[in-house]
Structure 1
Amino acid sequence: MFLHISPNQDCGIGFLVYAILSMLSMGDFSNEKSDDKCPRPFVMRVFEDEMMDSESDGEDNQRLVPVKRFNCDKHYLSDDSDDELALEFQSYLMGEVGLVESALCELTYEHQVDTKENIRSKISALEADLMGETEKSASALTRVEKYREARWEIERKLDTQYQRKIAEALDNHLTAVQRDHELRSQIEERKIRSDAAYEEAKRKEKALQEEKIRQEKARAESEARLRAEEAKRVALEVERREAKEAAEREANETAAKVAAGVAQEAAAGRQLDANSGMSNESKNPQSEGNVLRAAESALLLEQGRLQKLQQIEESNQALRLTHNKDFSSYERHIARLIRQISGTKEIVREKSREIVKIFNDPLCPQSISIAAFAKKVVSRCESPNTDAFACGYVIVLVMSQVPHAMDLLLAEFHRVCTYTVPKHIIYSKSAFESKEAYYKAIGYRETEGKIESIEDHLRRLESYMKLYGAVIQTEVQGVQNIHGLKEGWAWIARFLNTMPANRYTAVALNAFLQMAGFALFRKYKSQFMKVLSIISNNFLEALKAREESGLRATIAEIQAYMEDKEFLKEPEGRALQGSLLSSVMVPEPDYHNSYSRPQPNKYF
C-alpha cells in the first residue's frame, strides 16, 4: 500500500490525517491460498486543484483511481474504527489459519503500528516544520513590516530634508532676487539723485550767474550811488568843516566873553528865562518861532545828517525790493557783535574787525550794514550796564575805516535824543495838539498806548548822552576820530548858549561831563575851567531857582563834579583792559603842576 502525494501539494493537516487513516483502514493483506494472484498496490491520488475546489465549495470531492483489491473473500472490512477491524481480523485469522499465518498477521499488525508511529512522527515533524515555517513567515513578515516602516521613516526624513533643501534653495533664490532688485533700485536711486544733483547744480550755477549779474548791476548802481553820496559827503564835509570852524570861533568868543566879564549879562538872561517858564525868546538863533532852542549851525548839521539817513533808508528799502533778498541775517550778526562788546582790548579789536568785515561783504550792500550798525549801537544804550567807553572805542575804530558812516550814526543819535544836537523843544499849544504829542516829539516812548514815565525817559536820555560823550572823548594813536574833542567843545559851547536850565538839560549836561570832562580838560585846560565857572555861576544857579525836587540830585552831582575836581580823574572804564590797538595816549604838556595831581596812566 502506497500513499502518493504530489510534491507541490499544500494540504491541510486535517485532510492529510484523514487520507492516512483511510489508507490504513483498507488493510493490505494477502491470501495464502491465492498465491497465483498478485494483487496490485492501492494507490491514492490527491490533486492540488481538487483540494482547492474542496476547500472553496465545502464539498469532499476526491478522485480515486480504480484498483484491484487483495482477494479477501472471507474478510469483512467494516467502516468502523481500526481497532474493531483488527480484532475481528485477528479473531477471524486465529480461527482459520495456523501459526505462520498468525505470526504473519502479528508482523503485519506491528508493521501497521510502526507505520502509524512513523506517520505520526512525520506528521508531528511536519507540524513542527509547519509551525516553524509559520513562525519564520511571521518573523519575516514582522521584519518586512519593520523594514517597510524604517524605509518609510527614512523616506519621510529624506523627503523632509529634500523639502528643507528646496525651501532653503527657494529662500536663497528669493533673497538673491530681492538683493538684485534692491541693487537695481539703489542704482536707479543713485541715477535719479545724480540727475537731480546735476539739475540742481545747473540750476544753482544758473542762479549764481544771475546773482552775479544782479550783483554786478547792483554794485554798479551802488558805486554810482556811492559816488553821488561821496560827492554829497564832500559837500557836507566842507559844510561841516565850516560849521566846526564857526563853532570853534563861537566857543572861543564865548570863552573870551566869560573872561571879559560878560558872565553877568548871561546870568541875567538865564534868570529871566527861568522866571518866564522856558518861553523866553532870547537872542539865540531859533527856528520855527519860539518852539526850538538851538544854534543855527547845529540845526543845519542835524538837518543834513537826518536827510542823509532818510536817503539811505529809502535806498535800502529799494535794494531789498530789487534783490528780493532777506538781509536780516547780517543785521542780526551785527546786533550780536554789539551785544558782545566789553571793556577788554582784545574783544574791542575783534568786534571792530568783524563789523568792518561785514561792511565789506559783497553779498550785503554797505548802506544796509552801516544803517543797521548805527541803529543797533545806539539802541544798545537801552540795555542796563552798558559799557559806553568800550562802545566808543568800537565806534571810533569802525568809523576810521568807513568815515562816511559817522553822519548816519550821529543822525541816529539826533533822532533818539535831541540834546546830542544840542536842541531843546519848548511846549506850545499852537505847535502841538496835546501834551502826548509834545512828549513824543522830545523823545518819550509810547508803550501799549501809555507814555513812559519821566524817570524812564531821563534814564534813557542819560545813557544816550554818556555814549555820545564816550565817542567824543575817545582818542587812539594812529586813528582819526572824525567826531572828537573839537566837536565836544562845540557841543558844550552851543549847549550853554542856547539850552534853558531844566531837569532834562541838567541830566544831559551831567552825563556829558562825567564821560568827556576828563579829555576836554586835558586838551583845553584853562578854557575848560572857564566853562565850568559859567556852569557853576549861571546854569546851576538857574537850576536852583526852579526849586524842583527832582533836580536836587542832579544839581548835587554837578556841584560835586566841580568841587571834587573829578575832571582830573580818569573815569572808570575809560582805559581798556589788556593790550590792544598798539598805541599810547599822546602825552599832553604837564598840567598837574597847577593842581598837584599826577598825570593819568597810559591806557593802550
Structure 2
Amino acid sequence: MGFVKLDLPCPKSSAVVHSADPEPRWTLDDLLTELNSLERQLGPPVPLKQADWDYSERKETGGSGNKPFVMCVSDDDIAGSESDDDRSVVTGKRFSCNDIYLSESEESDDEMHTQATESHLLYKRSMEEGILFELEREHQLKVKAEVRSKLAELEAYQKTEIERSVSAMAQVEKYTETRREMDKRLDKQYQRKIAEVLDKHLSAIQRDHEQRSQIEERRIRDDAALEEAKRKEKALHEEKVRQERAKAEAEAKMKAEKLAEAQKKALEDAAERAAKEAAEKEAARTREKAAAEVAQKGAMEQKWATGAETTSEVKAGNLISKDECTIVPKNVQLPGVKVLAAEAALKVEANRLKIYNEVAEKIHLLAQKDIDRCERRITKYVNQIAGIIENVRAKAQALINVIKDPACPPSISILLFSKKVVSLCGNPVGSFDRTAFACSHVILLVTSQIPVTMDFVLAEFHKACIYTVPKHLQSSNPALGTREYLKMIGYREEDGKIESSQSYLNRVRSYMKLYAALIQTEVEGIRNPHGLKEGWAWLAMFLNALPANEYTAAALESFLKMAGFALFRRYKSQFLKILDVISRSFLPALKKRDQNKGDIALGLEQYLDEKMYLKEPEGWRLQTTSLSREWK
C-alpha cells in the first residue's frame, strides 16, 4: 500500500510540525470532503484482506502495515530551511487503529463513542488527533445546540398552534351554539305556521263533514217519509182488501147457509151409501197391504241375504232404531211406484213440506211488484256469497235485513231465500265445494236470527233432490213409461227433451254437497239445529232403506266426500263401521246391478282405499282475508 504526501495548509515559516495550525475554522465535514478528494485522486479503493486490518498483529511483527497514514511536512516548515526546492520528507505521526476493537456484536453508537473516549483518555495521542477530537466534540455540541434550538422553536410553535386550535374550537362552539339557538327559533316559527295551517285544514274538514251530515240527515228523513207514505198506502190497500174479503165471505156464508139446508137432506141420504162403500174399500186396502208386506219381506230377504252380518253390525252401533229403518211402500202420483225410505224420514219430510206449501199458496195474494223487488234483492246478495269470513257475515246480515223488511211478509221472504240458495246447486259454477261451505255458513247465520229458515231450506232440498230425505222411487209397473219415471225422480225436461243422466247426476252431487256442508257447519256461539247428529241419522237411514244403484251411489259419494271428515272426527270407530258396511255390502250390490257402469263405483272405492275422510274437504275453513286484497 503506497503513501500520499499531504501538505498542511499552514505557514511555511513554522519551526515545528506540532505547532502547525491548520485552518482554524475547519470542521469535520471539511475533513471528510478533503479525504474524499484524496480518494478520487488515488482511484478506486483496493479491497483489503482480513490480514490488512489486523493492526495488532502487524505491530507485533514489525510489519510496514502498521503505518496506514503518514503526514509529510516540508523542511521549510520544520527547520526554517532557506532552500525552498530541497525538501526532505519527515515521517509524521501515525494514526493507529490498534486501540479500536472491531467485533461483529450489536453495540450501540453510545458504547462505541464511550470506548473511543476512554481510548483517548488512557493513551497519549498526537496533537492532530486531539485537534480532530476537539473539532468533532465542538461539532457535536454545535449540532446538539442546534437541535435544542430547533426543539425549542418546535415547542413554541406547538404551543402557539394549540392556543390557536383552542381559540378556533371556542369560536366553532360559539358559532354552533348561536346556530342552534337560531334553528330553535326557526323551528318554533315553522311549527307555529304548521299548526295554523293544520288548524285551518281541520276546520275546513269539520265544516265539510257537518255539511255532508246535514245532507245525509235530510236524505234519511226524506226516505223515511217516503217509506212511511208507502207503508200507509199499503195499509190502506190491505184494509180495503180485507173489507172486500170480509164482505165476500159474508155473502158466501149466507149462500152457504141457504145451500146447507138444501144439501143436508142429500147428505143424509149419501151417508148410508158412503158408509157401505167405505167398508168395501177398507177390505180391499187390507188385502193390498197384506200382499205388499209379503212382497216387501221377500225383497228384504233377497237384498240383505249376503250382508246380514254387516247389517247387524250397523244396528249394533245404535245408528237408528228398528222402526225407523222400516221400508215403507206408498203410492205416489202414478200407480206402481214404491217409495223406499225410512218412516221417520217421510214424516219429517211431510211436516216440512206442509209448512212450505202453506206459505207458497199465499204468494199469489201479494202484489207481484213487491215479490219481484224482494226476490231481486235476495238474488243479488246470494250471488255475491264468497268463501271469506267478512263476506259471509256481511251477506248474512244483508239477507236478514231483507227478510225482516215489512215491505214483504217474512214468510214469503224466507221462502224466496230458500229457493234461491238451493237453486245454486242447479247450475254450479267453478269449484262448488268452497261456495257450498260459504252458503251453509250464511244459512246458519240467518237461521240464528230467524229459526224457521232451516225448515224452509230443508223443504226446498227435499223438493229439489229426493235423496236429501233420503228416499228413492222404485217403479214396479212395466206399463209406466221411462219418461214419466225419470221426471218423478227429478230429471228436467226442456223443449220436450229429457236431460242426460250425466247432467242429472251432476246436479244430484251438487245438492248433496250443499246438504253435507250444512250439517257440519259450526259457528261460534250458534247452535246448528240440523247438525252432525242429523247427518249421522241420514247416513244410517240411507244405507238401511235405499238400494244400490247409480243414483244412490252418486248421492252417497258426494255426501261422504264433504261430510266424511267431520263425521270421522265425531264418531271415530262407529264411522269406520259404516264404511265397512259400504265396502262389504253396498259396493258389491252396486257392481252387480250396474256392471256396465264401473266408473260410478270407482269413486267410492277410491274414497275408501285412499282414506279421504282423513283430509279436510276444500273450502272447509273460510278465508280470513281476500287474496286480491293481499296482493294489493
Larger radius of gyration: 1
TM-score, L = length of structure 1: 0.50
